Structure 1
Amino acid sequence: MKIKNIICLSVICLAFGNLSAQNPWPPTTNTAQPWTRWWWMGNAVDEKGLDKQLTTLHKAGFGGVEIVPIYGAKGFENQYINYLSPEWMKMLQFTTNKAKSMNMGVDMAVGTGWPIGGPQVDEQDAATKMIVQTYTISSGEKFSEKIVLKDEKLKNLKRIKLNIVTAYNEKNEAIVLTEKITSDGSLNWKPDSGKWTVYAVFTGKTLQKVKRAAPGGEGYTLDHFSPDATKDYLKTFDKAFGNSNYGVRSFFNDSYEVFNADWTPDFTNEFKKRRGYDLSPYIKYLVSDEDNEITTRIKSDYRETLSELILNNFADNFTSWADSKNSKNTNQAHGSPGNLLDLYAAVDIPESETFGSTVFDIPGLRRDSADVQKSDIPDINMLKFASSAANVTGKPLISNETFTWLTEHFKTSWSQAKPEVEQVFLSGINHVFYHGTTYTPADVPFPGWLFYASVNFVPENSLWPHLKGLNSYIERTQSVLQSGKSDNEVLMYWPIYDQWANPKGKDMAFKVHNVEKWLQPTPFYQDLTKLSKIGYSLDMISDKMIGESTFQNQRIQTTDKGSSYQVLIIPELKYLPETTLNHILKLAENGASVVFQNEPKDIPGYFEVEKRRNELTSLWNKIPFQNQGETMKIATFGKGKIILSFDVAKGLEYLRIEREKLTETGLKFVRRTFDGGKYYFIVNHTSKEINQFVPMNYTGKQTTIMNPENGDFGVAEVQNNLVKIQLKPGESLVLKTVENPDKSIPKWKYIEKTDSPIILNQPWHLSFKEGGPELPKSRNLKKLEPWTNFSEDPATQSFSGTGVYTTTLNLNKKNADDYLLKFDKLYESAKVIVNGQDAGIVWSIPFEINIGKYLKKGKNTIQIEVCNLMANRIRYMDQNKIQWRNYHEINFVNIDYKAFDASNWKVQPSGLDGQIQLMPLHYSK
């Protein structure tokens, strides 16, 4: 046992760089390491292949995998394994055993492809939609038409049911005729007068099937609104798993992409039970897009009911089932027609998703418009729905499907991944899953099996040798972000009833992919953006969460395990339930501070409108507002304070809620609190270098700077709550503030000045060590150039792999404190070896690395092992019509979801270009 402990400590020390007894970094765990979604194509896996790939992933710094079976490759059908079959369960058990032996974790999807469904979903449990047919009937006319379903696609289904029949005259007077329909569809009713329109509502089926299904997983998608459907679906897993969880840490459900599912067989009964009235007389307004009060109120109630059904009947049951297996569950709530905050909060690990790439101001960061999605995503405020739900309810892990369609295939570098994952961290997320890794059998040639929407985190990727740089960075950062609790001071209410009152459409899906429609235009979003920019840290809160909150120890406490907050903001809105206002006033009465951006105008929904509206007005009128200047009203309410101001920032300022002024420099941050101190994770996504004293709200008795790229640390220089920070564009750091100083920690090494750079413009030797389709010829270079400049050697144009640039440097004197090796242009990442010693990986902007401790006076040998993109080799294969993509289902597509073809691509520059400088550094004493 002692020997094992020594080995473990050695591994930790290697992972975190220059560590000793005073190491301020939190202990690392496999959840701090990145995980990856692991596609099993056709489930064509075997023990030898699983062992090899898990070992490879472990060595690269992954902490776990998430198994998602999908469609298979053609020609391997005889190796397919049916999902959840005994053979599949045997492969799962082997995987979890092997992973456990390396301290890795294993999650798995509860289904194949997405959204969940499969052969166990019969017609009754399949996703359901309402089908509305209309008829006209006038007094004195004989109505001979049968009220039966006309949709030919659904006529043969057994579960089609006529739910509601309601007639409306020209005055919009309604008569419910459901009981007047005979078994053959005849209408046993005649109007006494006037012309009537009859609305017939059928319970239909969407007929949607699982997308990208694996063998054994094909079938209808699930009716998420039905408790029986959810329970029936999970019985298949009970049968396969028995009393064991097979070592699965968490069962995963992908984003809700069930299209046109807006009903469930028992909807009318559930609606009446939850909303207090029968929907039947109002069905006309539900299917109308007319912008009137009845329509908006009926639709609001309908959408609220759908939200409660998916929460109670799917999310809650899914969590209970996973917990019964002694496992956790992970759920992507986005895309669903429900309150995202409540849905994320209902599971053990809420998971968000990024899709596409973000525009950053970092100089030198490559972003070719032809290689990225044309969209407004990712959006940091969208990501905050998942982290807010976790923070408010005390979930320690918030995960994220990261890098989905970051750029075009084979063109993503690790330097592009870094700011994207930093934005995920800044949203409060702390447990990233790469999207992703595809299992490939050993006998499949380059590029192996690939999934069409991912960055290829696979060993066949020519950038793989340097992935440890990105993974180690994420591991260090997440070790901090998984410590303690989120330390956001502001809660902001999500006015979902303003969304639900939209007169257009029926169900309302809150998707990652259309935030420009439902999120970005709202005052709520504008407040989030403005307050974050000026230095406030915010979480969102739902009506349900407000109802569960209390005021304790001078703060709003959301749950026993959740975070606590200084203030609650109610942004500009129209609709606010009187029950929510009542809860808000109780919080204020007990001492909470609340800022309203405007007076709530109305209550949502249709039930007892006047009574509830009067209650809302009565509650509001209890607040004894006094004018505070022209733009603000204030009230002392019990032990608390209520502010009414359209400028919520001024309201926060009046309440003396301190913002972090460090954002005035352009820096972004996220803050955590732990017993005895706080962590700040700070990034510079601006175009300018930060070299100054930066204001901090918390500096404690000691502030330590920690570099998540290499693990270095040292005590910061602090003056009057100002911390000296040096950050170049693209760099990040962690600040750890504590009340009990550790005097054994050395001072941070600030760069005081640099001497004139040494330009490495001497001859270089270029050789190639691994890659393909063939190694280019070695050559001597008079100056640094990309190897793709040498088009006379065709191999340089098609090669993807590692090229080695070697030179010697005579250092006449070594009188600087350190030396910085600075790259002008690097395509794409490099391992630096100085005098035979590994100095580290250069993989992110700015492309530079400290190598002083490896240099010596006199002759020095410098090797730079450069890895380039996969793109040139794929271009070559497509130009020569070498078959490499041959899959069932979607096969393989480009970023615009069109057939993939790289034959017309330009050769991507590869290797080193421009100058390499050696900068002598002098540190402040």
Structure 2
Amino acid sequence: MKHSFIAGLLLVFLAGNLADLKAQPKLLVTSQTAKPWTYWWWMGSAVNEADITHQLEQFAQAGLGGVHIIPIYGVKGYENQFIPFLSDRWLAVFAHTVREGKRLGVGVDLTTGTGWPFGGPGITTPTAAKVWKVENGKLITALTNQQVKRPAPGGQGLVVDYFSKQAIQYYLQRFDSTLNRLPEKPRAVYNDSYEVYGANWTDNFLTEFRTRRGYDLNSQLAALLDTSQTPESILIHQDYHQTLSELLHDGFATTWGNWASKAGYLSRNQAHGSPGNLLDLYAQASIPETESFGSSRFPIPGLRVDANYEVDRFGTPNPLAMKFASSAAHLLGKPLISSETGTWLANHFQVSLSQVKPQVDELFSAGINHIFYHGIPYSPQAEAWPGWVFYASTNYGPSSHFWPHLPQLNQYIERCQSRLQTSKPDNDVLVYFPIHDLWATRAKSAGGIHQLEVHHVEQWLLPQPFGQLCEQLTQHGYSFDYVSDELLKRLTVTKQGVRSPGGATYQVILVPHSTYFPETTLRQLERLARLGARIVFNGLPQQAPGFHNHKTRSADVIQLGNALKQLKTVTVSTDVFHSLAQLGIRVEPWASEGLSFIRKQRTGLSKGTTQYFITNLGNRFHQNWITLAATGRVSRYNPLTNQTEVLPVRTGQNGRNEVFLQLEPGQSCFLNASSGTPVFADAATQKRLETRAEGQPIELKNPWQIQLLNGRPALTATATLPSLTSWTSLSDSASYFSGTARYTTTFDLPAGTNPSAYKLELGDVREVADVRLNGQPVGIAWCIPFQLLIPASLLKPTGNRLEIDVTNLSANYMRLYDRQNPGWKKFYDINIVDIRYRPFDATRWEAMPSGLLGPIKLTRME
């Protein structure tokens, strides 16, 4: 891959807080990390060296930067090839994978276990996940009896106790005597999202509770059991959750992270789902990882959403949940923030690349810069189509219908991530996350605990004043990160503003309306305010969280609040947006038109350049003059085409410079504001821009010839189409065809036209269009809007021949294949299910529209 700013292998070491980085391996940002990586499920670990090498070579050729191995349940009929996890044979094939990965430039990560969560052989009563129950008026310990979910051979067993440091240390000993002794090591080890169902206790919980909270929990058992939200019950539950959160942080996140560092691995952690403060848990990982599960229901014209996806059951992705991972990374100077991407985006065999891109763009705008596809099952070369299939993923592998065009998406992501990974956050607002107010609400998860998961943010994040304020900040166009009680302690103040341990600088700390507020946190805010930090409170809190000495501590809260509001850098406000405006906090007003963005500062050769990634995930904005908070010469980079252009500028009514931005729904771009002199547009240029710089469209009046090319089943049908329509209407057999069809037509140019370029709008494409004009390649349209620019030099006055090869989904063929060959569904555990988790059955599907549906528009660009 070529980049305008990168030649060969780019190695950028992100200098953050040295004390944080000393304890872990150096995290290098390279062209390898800029490429997307993928989950790689080893089904039954029935793998061999030849197939591993073959698949890694395919991955490298397609533009993948790395794999994340997850040993998982097996395939029926291959039992004699199963390799027990961490056996000598398993270690040998893993070592071969790492060696081949190094040869091919493909990185390797590994789950610290099989399936999820951690657990397996050797986990017995002392180290297994626990739940409390009441016996004879006292709290006692019981087992959850949860088994590892979807385990691989050699990974079966009880789930480990995540709240116990001793249990985690015992669990990790298995890797000390096996994996850690290999000279070939994974780049990073991984922990999946917290899914320890009902676990809410550990053997020494009562002792830890007394030490940390100052009283015996058994003495307040009635309040713990009370679910009616009495004042005393709320305080007891806050203390209970605070203790669980600290035990999870100390017992698991710190213990596992330190173990990984000592062994020479980076750590990737999905903290979401945890009954703890996500910011502090993400902060312990080398690479915090969020998740994009399902589709976000963007109102982009033409974007399909799977009607069978159950929103009420699974929820939808939300950028505010993603920002917990990116905020922790921004505060601590961690260069990579990853995401499990595209989980259940649509049903099997029905996902298009055009559906993937908006989800990726949403992640980028939320601060994510290290995409992991979810994912690719290992599948032997000799296995018939569709090969081995994982139950819950979009298949990005060689048997996928979009595999031939996956390099297009991979290249787009690499170009974006190359820029996002080599820039630093430029967010002005640091929003305090008042978790004690959340703990004051009634818990809805199993075990009576608050599990902060990414699926249903409407249940825990959005109803809180914190969530509501962050939604408003987004709509107004403020750029912000979150901060926890613990991370506040690590902030300092400089002349430039509030400085985080990782070097990020913020202009204001914003405190949402909070009922319960730790007095220790107020003291930290007072410390920062006296050093000059600007702090805005949306009202002052009136009481402390927690039961012990509650009245005394609440009096301290009131006293500290009264002292704080006397300081000149502290504002107590009922209208925080008015207060932010008075403080001169930067805002990007165009975000209110439905544009999502992240603002960053470029490093290296482009130091001093403000960089915006902007994506149009709505249907309100098309083009307009916009005012950027950053000033200077503005250029636009298109990661789809790898082209850069300088944007024209005019002076707005407010006296500030405005740039003209065209960005259709579904499109994205980078804007760079540097120190150069802006290029001002004269009146004629402004008018041309505002009229969309387009001439009259050229009619394509001639019929279209369609020919079915390569695909399943093998068909050679041809037809003449007076107007464009789905090829499924050509014949019964064509309704089952999955593959590529060629559409051909001819046209003449109107006399007297001499434009510099033409814009080809293809309308509704199902699903990817490879376009040629007069035998010359024009480009591949794979995402919304399906548009390509055609240089005028490719056209002739008469007899232009337009050929468009369109590739559809594999869903239509699966309707036939599932009836003729049902034996492909041969997997253990859950086997293969549909998006509603019912047994997979494609035989009842309706044929999905396929081909070039149009309308097609060819427009002169003046």
Partner in structure 2 of residue 866 of structure 1:
806
Which residues in structure 2 correspond to 1:801-880 (within 5 Å)?
801-811=739-749, 815-852=754-791, 855-857=794-796, 858-880=798-820
8 Å Cα contact 1:373/1:895 also seen in 2: no
8 Å Cα contact 2:429/2:510 also seen in 1: yes
Alignment partners' CA distance in 2, 1:458 and 1:11: 30
Partner in structure 2 of residue 691 of structure 1:
623
8 Å Cα contact 2:343/2:392 also seen in 1: yes
Partner in structure 2 of residue 206 of structure 1:
144
What is the root-mean-square deviation in Å for CA atoms of aligned residues?
2.5
Which residues in structure 2 correspond to 1:358-377 (within 5 Å)?
358-371=296-309, 373-374=311-312, 375-377=314-316
Partner in structure 1 of residue 478 of structure 2:
536
Alignment partners' CA distance in 2, 1:654 and 1:847: 44
The counterpart of 2:582, out of the listed 627, 635, 654, is: 654
Which residues in structure 2 correspond to 1:648-797 (within 5 Å)?
648-674=576-602, 675-700=607-632, 702-719=633-650, 720-740=656-676, 753-791=693-731, 794-797=732-735
Alignment partners' CA distance in 2, 1:439 and 1:715: 45
Give the stretch that moved more between structures: 566-575 or 497-506: 497-506
Instruction: Give the superposition deviation at 1:658.
Output: 2.3
1:517 aligns with 2:453: no
Alignment partners' CA distance in 1, 2:702 and 2:49: 51
Alignment partners' CA distance in 2, 1:683 and 1:782: 37
Partner in structure 1 of residue 517 of structure 2:
576
Alignment partners' CA distance in 2, 1:668 and 1:388: 17
- The residue type paired with residue 775 of structure 1 is L
Instruction: Give the superposition deviation at 1:917.
Output: 2.4
- The residue type paired with residue 461 of structure 2 is L
The counterpart of 1:615, out of the listed 531, 550, 556, is: 556
Instruction: Give the superposition deviation at 1:13.
Output: 8.4
SS in 1 for 2:409: helix
8 Å Cα contact 2:308/2:835 also seen in 1: no
Q: Using structure 2 for the length normalisation, give the TM-score.
A: 0.91
SS in 2 for 1:622: helix
Change (3 A) 1:517 1:242: closer
Alignment partners' CA distance in 2, 1:835 and 1:325: 59
8 Å Cα contact 1:822/1:848 also seen in 2: yes
Change (3 A) 1:543 1:578: same
Instruction: Give the superposition deviation at 1:811.
Output: 4.3
8 Å Cα contact 2:144/2:199 also seen in 1: yes
Q: Unmatched 5+ residue regions in structure 2?
A: 11-28, 651-655, 680-684
Give the stretch that moved more between structures: 522-531 or 761-770: 761-770
Partner in structure 1 of residue 188 of structure 2:
250
8 Å Cα contact 1:44/1:80 also seen in 2: yes
1:642 aligns with 2:642: no
8 Å Cα contact 1:821/1:851 also seen in 2: yes
Question: Alpha-carbon deviations, 1:121-166, whole Å to 9, x = none?
Answer: 2321111111223xxxxxxxxxxxxxxxxxxxxxxxxxxxxxxxxx
Change (3 A) 1:736 1:10: closer
Instruction: Give the superposition deviation at 1:783.
Output: 3.8
Alignment partners' CA distance in 2, 1:902 and 1:30: 37
Change (3 A) 1:512 1:752: closer
Which residues in structure 2 correspond to 1:384-395 (within 5 Å)?
384-395=323-334
| Matched-pair identity in % | 42
Which residues in structure 2 correspond to 1:113-152 (within 5 Å)?
113-133=115-135
Alignment partners' CA distance in 2, 1:281 and 1:600: 28
Partner in structure 2 of residue 183 of structure 1:
none
8 Å Cα contact 2:130/2:142 also seen in 1: yes
8 Å Cα contact 1:245/1:327 also seen in 2: no
Change (3 A) 1:407 1:503: closer
Instruction: Give the superposition deviation at 1:15.
Output: 13
SS in 1 for 2:456: helix
Alignment partners' CA distance in 2, 1:441 and 1:741: 57
Partner in structure 1 of residue 532 of structure 2:
591
8 Å Cα contact 2:543/2:555 also seen in 1: no
Alignment partners' CA distance in 2, 1:303 and 1:119: 30
Alignment partners' CA distance in 1, 2:700 and 2:108: 47
Alignment partners' CA distance in 2, 1:299 and 1:577: 15
Give the stretch that moved more between structures: 460-469 or 204-213: 460-469
8 Å Cα contact 2:648/2:678 also seen in 1: no
The counterpart of 1:884, out of the listed 824, 849, 854, is: 824
- The residue type paired with residue 525 of structure 2 is I
The counterpart of 1:285, out of the listed 223, 226, 244, is: 223
Question: Alpha-carbon deviations, 1:278-299, whole Å to 9, x = none?
Answer: 2231233223323223221121
SS in 1 for 2:247: helix
Change (3 A) 1:12 1:544: closer
Partner in structure 2 of residue 600 of structure 1:
541
Alignment partners' CA distance in 1, 2:48 and 2:104: 19
Alignment partners' CA distance in 2, 1:696 and 1:778: 53
Partner in structure 2 of residue 911 of structure 1:
851
Alignment partners' CA distance in 2, 1:11 and 1:391: 23
Alignment partners' CA distance in 2, 1:37 and 1:87: 22
Partner in structure 1 of residue 178 of structure 2:
240
Partner in structure 1 of residue 258 of structure 2:
320
Question: Alpha-carbon deviations, 1:452-492, whole Å to 9, x = none?
Answer: 11111121112222222222111111112112211111011
8 Å Cα contact 2:163/2:202 also seen in 1: yes
- The residue type paired with residue 416 of structure 1 is Q
Partner in structure 2 of residue 167 of structure 1:
none
1:111 aligns with 2:53: no
SS in 1 for 2:741: strand
Change (3 A) 1:376 1:882: closer
The counterpart of 1:53, out of the listed 40, 52, 55, is: 55
Alignment partners' CA distance in 1, 2:831 and 2:860: 53
1:37 aligns with 2:44: no
Alignment partners' CA distance in 1, 2:676 and 2:48: 53
8 Å Cα contact 1:669/1:681 also seen in 2: yes
Alignment partners' CA distance in 2, 1:340 and 1:417: 26
Question: Alpha-carbon deviations, 1:635-664, whole Å to 9, x = none?
Answer: 4x1xx5111112211121222212111223
- The residue type paired with residue 404 of structure 2 is P
- The residue type paired with residue 286 of structure 2 is D
Change (3 A) 1:579 1:870: same
Q: Unmatched 5+ residue regions in structure 1?
A: 1-6, 17-26, 134-197, 626-634
Alignment partners' CA distance in 1, 2:861 and 2:541: 60
1:78 aligns with 2:80: yes
8 Å Cα contact 1:466/1:830 also seen in 2: no
1:557 aligns with 2:499: yes
1:259 aligns with 2:204: no
Question: Alpha-carbon deviations, 1:304-351, whole Å to 9, x = none?
Answer: 111111111111111111111222000000111111110011110000
Partner in structure 1 of residue 372 of structure 2:
433
Instruction: Give the superposition deviation at 1:686.
Output: 2.6
Change (3 A) 1:513 1:825: closer
Partner in structure 2 of residue 169 of structure 1:
none
Alignment partners' CA distance in 2, 1:35 and 1:307: 31
Question: Alpha-carbon deviations, 1:11-68, whole Å to 9, x = none?
Answer: 978999xxxxxxxxxx971211111111111111112211221122222221111111
- The residue type paired with residue 280 of structure 1 is N
Partner in structure 2 of residue 146 of structure 1:
none
1:341 aligns with 2:273: no
